[in-house]
Copies of this chain bind each other. A is one copy, B any other.
Amino acid sequence: MDNQKRIAILGVGLMGGSLALQLKDRGLSKEIIGVDHSEIHQQKALELGLVDKIESLEEAIANTDVIILAIPVDSIVRILPEVLNRISDQIVIDLGSTKSLLVETVKDHEKRGRYVPTHPMWGTEYSGPTAALKGAFEDKAVVICDANDSDEDAISWTRFMFKSIGMHQIEMTSKDHDLHAAYVSHISHITSFALANTVLEKEREDHAIFEMASGGFESTVRLAKSNPEMWIPILMQNKENVLDVLNEHISQLRKFKSCLEKENVDYLKELMEGANRIKRILK
């Protein structure tokens, strides 16, 4: 297997840009070609040395061995079939935060085997090429979905790539992925957005409200800075799972509300001690 590839990255923002840096650093790329509809992003990606050159999608597909989709999930749904139509035997990998709809969209495509659906569990609340970070992805998990539906050489190089950039790999179905992602990622974004709105709403009448904000507040609300262009399609595509988690979360909040209203200290203690069990999972 020739492990060094010519790689096209669609979307040279936070994810695509950070991946490009890691691929170069680990010597996985002969050349990295950036594809991006934003001229500002194209320019920035070249300036920052994220990519070696910028090409159109058509040129990039013709000139590379691997095509990585690092764009919002609504764009992936649109562009993935087009990419599969154009390739010969290139490997196509997407990094989207949802998986079921993408997989469903191309399930009968004759080039389905060339496609590997993945989700690296790393990100920040920032976006664009300037948000790209060196050393990203290291020691984080990446989910590879429905591995049996991809060709062996495609899965094999994808595994090699993620291993080389320091990620540990989890395999599951795209359906299970979307359920789990709703619980450990998508809901956190909704609670942060809603918490920001809760406090900003109050600030309209009380300007001093943020003078006291400290680390705890910042920690729970930082995801509210996330980009709507990226997050709207994620939540819409994973609507059913996200609604299930959101309903459960609202019902958990109502338990706290009821404890306070009824001054039920015993049950409040039980709820908090239950939540403390998260120590098992978080370091």
Contacts and interface: CB of A to CB of B under 8 A. Distances in A.
Interface of A: 121-125, 140-141, 143, 170, 172, 176-177, 179-181, 183-185, 187-202, 206, 208-226, 228, 231-232, 235-236, 239, 242-243, 245-250, 252-257, 260-261, 263, 265, 268-269, 271-279, 281-282
A187 to B, nearest CB: 7
Nearest to A243: B260
A189 B279 CA distance: 15
A254 B260 contact: no
B263 A224 contact: no
Contact of A193 (B125, B206, B218, B275): B275
A191 B200 contact: no
30 contacts: A121-B213, A122-B215, A123-B214, A123-B215, A140-B214, A170-B208, A170-B211, A180-B211, A181-B212, A184-B213, A187-B199, A188-B195, A188-B216, A188-B217, A190-B256, A196-B276, A196-B277, A197-B271, A198-B249, A200-B275, A213-B282, A219-B220, A221-B282, A222-B282, A225-B276, A228-B269, A236-B263, A243-B260, A246-B257, A250-B250
B185 A212 contact: yes
Q: How many copies does the complex hold?
A: 2
A249 B242 contact: no
A217 B220 CA distance: 9
A277 B225 CA distance: 8
Given A235-B260, A235-B268, A243-B260, A274 B200 contact: yes
Contacts of A202: 183, 245, 248
- Per DSSP, chain A at the interface is helix
B214 A185 contact: yes
B223 A219 contact: yes
Q: What 4 A-B pairs come out closest when comparing CB atoms?
A: A228-B272, A196-B275, A121-B214, A194-B252
Contact of A282 (B212, B225, B274): B225
Given A187-B198, A196-B275, A212 B249 contact: no
Contact of A200 (B261, B263, B278): B278
Given A208-B172, A211-B180, A261-B243, A216 B123 contact: yes
Contacts of A208: 170, 172, 176, 180
Given A197-B271, A253-B249, A257-B250, A224 B190 contact: no
